[in-house]
Amino acid sequence: MPGAVAPKKRREEGSREDVILVFLETAAAWARVHTRVVISVLVAIGILVGGVFYYRSYRQSLRAAAAIELNQLRGTLTPADAIPRLTGFIARFEGTPSAVEGRLLLARLQLRTREPRAAIQTLDPILSEPTDRPTGYAVAILLAESYKEVGEPDRSLAKLDEIIRDAYVPYQRHRALAERGRLLAELGRLEEAAATYKRLTEEEGATDDLYRVRLGEIEALIASGTDPTPSAFAAPKPPAPSPEDPEAAAADDAEATPASDADDAEEPAPPEPGEG
């Protein structure tokens, strides 16, 4: 029996080899008859491969050029030319990481110049940025502020809740909680504001005593039944992120305003007539 099995196995292997040889001979004969088609296919494949490599090289060059130009812009923007220069930069380098950063800078500037609807429009193409990444966090916090400025507090609260849920560093969650507490107090929703500030005071690392002061003020208002004064609830600015936390620092830098990072900075007065 073993002798019978071996010849059968050799016949099967020989049969498979014959099939392969027949296929190769048939393919070679077809290629000889259709030489032009074969050459055209090979040329098309070569062009496709070359195109892929060229596109990758082009994208890398574009990203490098965008990063260089953005760094130059950061140091030279002025209140007078920041918006048109950033708009032009975004149009030229759309699709690059630097264009995303440019949109964040532009939206922040538009908020400071009391153009919240323009800021919302600027941020619209990058709404899909995940909130648990530096750029996504910056988008969310800017949108929350923009929605508040255009009179849509519920959308602002939704964005703040998104940050609180997805924040990847405590600094971001603390800031969102502080903004949420302030907004709720301004809306007269004191019970919710008190609960938000209470949570903030219990957060590890949220050591600013002003949060406890705000909580005490709101609890006193609830007890007295007095209507809140919106201007009284300016939330304290959270402490700057530690230099040891590069991602938090990157997110904070993403929100920086061209030429100045202080929210209360004043624009330089225009020169008097006759001045150089």
CB 164 within 8 A of CB 178: no
Per-residue pLDDT, averaged over 153-174, amounts to 92
d(CA 94, CA 236): 35
* 11-15, 96-100, 267-271 — most confident range: 96-100
Residue 63 buriedness (CB in 10 A; 0-12 / 13-18 / 19+): middle
Poorest-pLDDT segment among 11-25, 93-107, 145-159, 262-276 = 262-276
Three-state SS string over 126-180 comes to HCCCCCCCHHHHHHHHHHHHHHHHCCCHHHHHHHHHHHHHHCCCHHHHHHHHHHH
pLDDT of residue 233: 54
Mean pLDDT in residue range 113-136: 92
Alpha-carbon distance values, 214 to 47, 132, 209, 210, 234 (Å): 66, 28, 9, 6, 9
Amino acid at 57: S
237-265 per-position pLDDT tens digit: 444 444 444 444 444 544 444 433 333 33
> pLDDT at residue 206 above 90?
no
Residue 221 has pLDDT above 60, yes or no: yes
Amino acid at 114: R
Q: What is the mean pLDDT of residues 95-111?
A: 93
pLDDT score of 26: 75
Looking at residue 42, its pLDDT comes to 66
Residue 228 has pLDDT above 70, yes or no: no
- Considering Cα of 115, then 251, then 86, then 143, what sign does the dihedral take? negative
Compute the average pLDDT of residues 96-122: 94
Which ranges of the chain would DSSP assign to H, the alpha helix? 2-33, 35-76, 82-93, 97-112, 116-123, 134-149, 153-166, 170-186, 190-202, 209-224, 246-254
Block residue for tokens 């949108």: 143
Q: Is the pLDDT of residue 114 over 90?
A: yes
Average pLDDT over residues 106-124: 94
**What was the pLDDT predicted at 191?**
93
What does the pLDDT read at residue 132? 85
Distance between CA atoms of residues 197 and 184, nearest Å: 10
CA pair distance 123, 209, nearest whole angstrom: 34
Average confidence (pLDDT) over 115-123? 95
What does the chain come to in residues? 276
What b/e readout covers 26-59, taking b as 16+ CB neighbours within 10 angstroms? eeeeeeeeeeeeeeeeeeeeeeeeeeeeeeeeee
Segment 149-167 shows an average pLDDT of: 94
Q: Is the dihedral of CA 172, 117, 264, 261 positive or negative?
A: positive
Give mean pLDDT, residues 121-148. 93
Which residues lie below 8 Å from residue 180, measured CB to CB, with a gap of 6+?
A: 157, 160, 161, 164, 196
How far is 244 from 51, CA to CA, in rounded Å? 43
- pLDDT bin (cut points 50, 70, 90) of residue 100 is very high
Average per-residue pLDDT for the chain:
76
**Highest averaged pLDDT of the listed ranges 67-76, 146-155, 199-208:** 146-155
Query: What tokens appear for 168 in the block?
Result: 């990847």
